[in-house]
Structure 1
Amino acid sequence: MPLIEEIEVPDVPEHVADYVWHVSRREDDFDFDDIRPVERRTIKGVTRMVGEPWKLKLAIPGPGTYDIRIRQRSDSGRTVFERETTLDLRDFLVVALGDSYSSGQGNPDIPGAPDHDNAWYDVFLPTLGFVVSLSGGMFTAPLAYRFGKEALDAAKDMLAEKWPTIARQQKATIATDPDPVWQEPAAYRSLKCGTALGAGSLENPELGRLVTFLNFARTGSEVFDGLLGPRTSDGLPIDDWIGNMGQVEEMAETLTRAGRTEIDALVISIGVNDLGFATRLTSLVADDSIALLGGVGDDTKNREETLKRAEHLLDSGKIRGALDSLRQALEELPLSIHQVYLLEYPAAIFDRADGKPHPGCEIFGSAFDLDIDQRDAELTRHLGLRLNEVIREAANDFGWVHVGNIDAGFRGHGYCMGEDSFYRTASQSLVLQGDTEGTMHPNGAGHAVVGEQVAQALEQHMVAAARPPEVVRTEIEAWRVAGVDEQWKPVRFGQDYDMPPVVLASLQTFAGSDPSLARVREADTRGFQVRVEEEQAGEPHHNAEEVGFAVLRPGLLRDRQTGEIVGEAGSLSVDQPSADLWRTLTFDERITGDVVVVMQVMSANGHQPVHVRLRDVGEAADGRRQLRFKMEEWRTADGQHFEERIGYLVLKVGEHTLRGAEIFASLVDGVDESWRRSVVFNARPGGTPVVLTQCQTFRGADPVVVRQKNVERDHFDVRLQEDRQGGDHVGESVGFIVVEAA
């Protein structure tokens, strides 16, 4: 099935006639070229654009590294905007094994209906909006139901009538028409489980991240009866629907047939049935009854027997031994499993709002002593916590990732907490799926808690570990060159690059007082040319200045100490058809907080002096981070300029360690045409740094550049400079970036 990737270009100025696209994949000969015309219609004197010509939907062959280029062309066929990017598209394979907690028991993909008129439901909302926040964004738990009063009343009446039968470990069922829909009915498997929610929340095609999720979990599974072999009942296999093979074998066979030999993440929930938890819980209820046992029920004795049998399994090492057998079986598979994740269980089953165990309710509360009392609830939590200890120790010893904080997330949301409960009640299970099998399992809110923890673990151990080096690599050079005047001066890089880097330059001195700035051209993989460019109203000669440079590879910038993405460097080609045309540049949304932007004209196609002006830096729009920019000529020119190549650096405010340099970004407000003395920053190691400056605001409309002088280890002086016709510019916010000089 082809993957669909949508690429969006936000700006469509009136003079743009069409978009020219080129997309290619490096791994093969996939190559796509297309021209998308911009159509406009005029109705009653109003001209509007028809459709959304800035969007391209393209079927691509699969994951890989894609080079993407987009050009805007004018009516004459001239390029007015050009931008290139690389998309590394990765498909992560996440596989789930385990018991009912991983299968989604109690949460069918589509619920059944007990009768044809559907009066059992007031509302069925597949996405009611239970939102869970993650470090990388938000996701919605896609399972929430609002139950009709008639439905729950009828279900409770049936449970009350059948309660003695249920207490004997038999089942209560009702007919449904239509039946509930499951991904696999025989396994009570749905895509509403927490593992599916967590894996799905990580998919982000815009970041090149796809997720394939396969779930083999089956309700009631144990390590040997379910994972390493089929589930059994009275010693006989009951998984004939899948050839009576265990989940591990089914997984290996399925992936081998599909040609997938690598699993990025194998997520497992197992152990609760090996402990016989459901049996222990039922025993706490059924063995209380005189009528059911034909003898005298004894709560205390019952608890002692239940605790004794459970702790024998825990203390004897049988459960740990079963997990070790699972580990060995996985290691012997003809598959490469990058990481295994083992989930803990919620132990807060009968918690109330205070986070402490309380007596049961509904089918776990009875006037005939068929109940979960206070001590039963405390025992249930105790056994759950003991099981979680075994799971955590096994994960640590095996080198697996232990997915914790699930029990903590369920605290205060026990079975009897009504709308605040994270568990499926017996009445709800009857209404949703026609039986009581879903009782005691996490509901939609509970699975959202599981999903959040799964997502965080996968983000840390799968996604971050798999980021290709070329996506986040950065190399930066910084140095100063003296003796630069109005003549073009060649400059060589300290190394050769595999693609033209971004070159940024600022005057470090104030030897000449005429309005001027550093101009760059012919930047390639080996070097560039630089000169001091004045406004043409003055004398052509300019006194020699010292120029500071920073050279960066295009791409994202990651702090080597914190791992945080703190910046983005790149280039684009645009023209300036009119003085009042502003363009939008969108940068990576993972660059959070205040930013400083430096944009440098890196070519000299137009004969008029020109620089870049900024406004609305960092402003968010539709969840994206962006800025607006234009090429600005001095007032002696007409404001129209030929296409130029512009390099840019977006950097988060603060101090960062990059590969090649220490770098610091900050802002100083209220800078006007008077010298602002001693802008202070932390002293840089290694001598005098390079300081790059640029105006970040557009409070005054007259053309302006930033000048600086007295650049020392820990300070510099700064001012704005208009052309000779100006001289009274309002205060602007100036961003500065300090780079340790090599």
Structure 2
Amino acid sequence: MTRIALAVLLAVVGLPPALAAPVTPQPGPAALGVEWSMPDRFGADADGNGRIDFPNTTAYVHNRASGCAPCPLPSFAVHLEAVGPATAAIAAYTWTITAATLPQPIVAESAAPSLEVALPEGDYSVAVVGEVPLLFTAVRIRGGGAITVEDLLVVAIGDSYASGEGNPEMRRGPGSATPLWGDGGDDAATIAHAAAHRSTVAWPARTALVLEANDHRSSVTFVSVATTSARIDWGILSPQGDQGASQLDQLAALVGDRRIDLLLVQEGGNSIGFARLVRALVEADPLFDPICYHLLVDQALASAADGDWTRDTSVSFRLPFDWSCEPTRRASGAHLPGLDGLSAAFERLDLGLRRFEIGQVVLVGYPDPTGAGNDGERCREIVGDVTPPLRFHEISGDEGRRGVSDVLVPLNSAIEAAAQEQGWWFVGGIASSFAAGHGYCAPWPDYGYPADFAAIPGFAASTLDHPDGWYRNPGANPWPPALGSADVTWYRNAAQSVVLQGPEARFATSGTLHPNEVGHAAIALLVMQRLQSGGFW
């Protein structure tokens, strides 16, 4: 071929003549670049059952077809793409991948300008040589670049606020006793998800979805062992009832020696007796127990502070008409860390976490359920729907204010102090965000109701009968549409919890007073902002 003909061909494919070299590559600037991407590992629905795959398995964490013990260094799918104007004329590619961690270079050939490989995490150098066939010879065009293979292992531990309580993957249907929780990929993992009331609606999963969606050059592996009702000392560090293994032991079995890039934690509420406090404030009522009411409220707040839940009351009578309420003690009752012992509890958690290699720990605070408006207005009452229809038992506005000032504010302060002491990142601003018009008493999210719903007489119409109108699992979309609504509740109430997950008695359903799908997305947004400010994302 004449030099003129060669120059014309090179001009067509966009290369200067200096970059063309028959038979062997020649020195000079690279004519081909290399791009790479990694397929998502979290957020898919491979079996098409309508639930995000949530495989809490060793095989998933180590990207293997089956489990392993011990597990070798996992490899992850990487898509390599040769880029540049010359690719239109190249008929064959030779790829050479090198790294200090590889015993020998990986050499592969492809007809297309792309290659699928499986590589462990790390930095690699990729060289690519493209061959352009000519009439009687060939031109080889070379290029390459550096790539980084990264799969973020994101793990969640904690209580019901981290597990997704109140937000099943699929609500129970008519005549169904149970909802569907996380899709574990096998029977054991799925059963464990259901027992823990664990779902991908929870803010840790939402956070993992955002991380996955926002960087095509990395992938995310997400597992969660967060469990409803868990405490630091009962569930996380030691087994929870008949659970069999603590959350940290479960985590060790899942991750083995693999480094945890991001550990998401929410706990502290159960360690001070949050559920006991709510029940005590709901049951304390000046109409039904005017004699002991004030002492009952004081005792509940005191128990949250010191963790002693053996406090009780008795009514005494003295002639002529002297009724009084006296503090007493029950023979049995929970002794929890309380606000006073929360710092020591988090120290124990830190010691327990030292068995793992962790890049960053993020500790999340708790929301405020009492906010009715952006102007600081408080709900007149909350949780009254646990005792329909008269709602005599509830948390009154005054009780709510005391709960915030005496418990919620000190709780979040103690959690923040623990995070600082242990070198973790704290996510604050959650209480104030929820309090700005998104409390328990705010309007429900509105995703749309049946066309004939408006025609139903007012006394018979009930939004509760149309759960698809007020609850939507966002699925792989991290942000539900209602997140942008200025006036919707970010909480799950008792009536909704009965419809979504049961049981029928409102006082017995466990989803009450937990973030709903919008609340979890709001928490995830604050977590992402903290990760961004810290340089993680």
Tell me the equivalent position of 2:77: 4
In structure 2, stretches of 5+ residues that fail to align are: 1-62, 64-74, 185-192, 308-336, 446-487, 504-508
The 5-angstrom pairing of residues 201-600 of structure 1 reads: 201-203=210-212, 208-231=217-240, 237-239=241-243, 243=244, 245-256=245-256, 259-260=257-258, 262-288=259-285, 296=290, 299-313=293-307, 317-331=340-354, 333=355, 335-360=356-381, 363=385, 367-382=390-405, 383-411=407-435, 412-417=437-442, 418-419=444-445, 420-435=488-503, 436-459=509-532, 461=534, 463=536
Per-residue CA distance 1:115-150 (angstroms, 9 max, x = gap): 4xxxxxxxxxxxxxxxxxxxxxxxxxxxxxxxxxxx
Tell me the equivalent position of 1:646: none
CA shift in 2, pair 1:81/1:303, >3 Å: farther
Tell me the equivalent position of 1:175: 177
Structure 1 distance, partners of 2:418, 2:238, is: 21
Cα deviation for residue 8 of structure 1 reads 4.4
CA RMSD of aligned residues (A): 3.2
CA shift in 2, pair 1:34/1:428, >3 Å: farther
Cα deviation for residue 368 of structure 1 reads 4.9
Structure with the greater relative contact order (CA < 8 A, sep ≥ 6): 1 or 2? Answer: 2
* Contact residue 348 and residue 414 of structure 1 kept, 8 A: yes
Tell me the equivalent position of 1:164: none
Structure 2 distance, partners of 1:446, 1:198, is: 13
Amino acid at match of 2:173: A
* Contact residue 78 and residue 119 of structure 2 kept, 8 A: no
Cα deviation for residue 71 of structure 1 reads 5.4
Amino acid at match of 2:149: L
CA shift in 2, pair 1:194/1:30, >3 Å: farther
Structure 2 distance, partners of 1:106, 1:377, is: 21
In structure 1, stretches of 5+ residues that fail to align are: 38-53, 116-173, 232-236, 465-742
The alignment partner of 1:203 has SS state of helix
Amino acid at match of 1:448: A
Tell me the equivalent position of 1:100: 160
* Contact residue 16 and residue 72 of structure 1 kept, 8 A: no
The alignment partner of 1:390 has SS state of helix
* Contact residue 110 and residue 181 of structure 1 kept, 8 A: no
Amino acid at match of 2:111: R
Q: Does 1:58 align with 2:103?
A: no
Tell me the equivalent position of 1:528: none
Amino acid at match of 2:120: G
Cα deviation for residue 357 of structure 1 reads 2.2
CA shift in 2, pair 1:85/1:341, >3 Å: same
CA shift in 2, pair 1:182/1:431, >3 Å: farther
* Contact residue 202 and residue 520 of structure 2 kept, 8 A: yes
Q: Quick one: percent identity of the two aligned structures?
A: 28
Structure 2 distance, partners of 1:79, 1:453, is: 54
Cα deviation for residue 204 of structure 1 reads 6.7
* Pick aligned residue for 2:198 from 186, 189, 193: 189
* Contact residue 494 and residue 511 of structure 2 kept, 8 A: yes
Structure 1 distance, partners of 2:174, 2:151, is: 41
Number of residues of Structure 1 aligned to a counterpart in Structure 2? 371
Q: Which has the higher strand share?
A: 1
Structure 2 distance, partners of 1:6, 1:415, is: 47
* Contact residue 18 and residue 36 of structure 1 kept, 8 A: yes
Amino acid at match of 1:434: G
Structure 1 distance, partners of 2:194, 2:286, is: 34
* TM-score, normalised relative to structure 2: 0.61
Structure 2 distance, partners of 1:238, 1:328, is: 24
* Contact residue 230 and residue 238 of structure 1 kept, 8 A: yes
Tell me the equivalent position of 1:67: 125
* TM-score, normalised relative to structure 1: 0.45
* Contact residue 97 and residue 127 of structure 2 kept, 8 A: no
* Contact residue 167 and residue 201 of structure 2 kept, 8 A: yes
Structure 1 distance, partners of 2:391, 2:522, is: 35
Cα deviation for residue 277 of structure 1 reads 1.3
Structure 1 distance, partners of 2:173, 2:139, is: 60
The 5-angstrom pairing of residues 16-95 of structure 1 reads: 16-18=89-91, 20-26=93-99, 27-28=101-102, 29=104, 31-36=106-111, 56=114, 58-70=116-128, 74-76=132-134, 79=139, 82-95=142-155
Structure 2 distance, partners of 1:57, 1:448, is: 37
* Contact residue 180 and residue 433 of structure 1 kept, 8 A: no
Structure 2 distance, partners of 1:329, 1:365, is: 41
CA shift in 2, pair 1:69/1:79, >3 Å: farther
Structure 2 distance, partners of 1:315, 1:276, is: 7
CA shift in 2, pair 1:427/1:78, >3 Å: farther
* Contact residue 95 and residue 128 of structure 2 kept, 8 A: yes
* Contact residue 264 and residue 462 of structure 1 kept, 8 A: no
Cα deviation for residue 109 of structure 1 reads 2.8
Q: Which structure would you say has the larger Rg?
A: 1
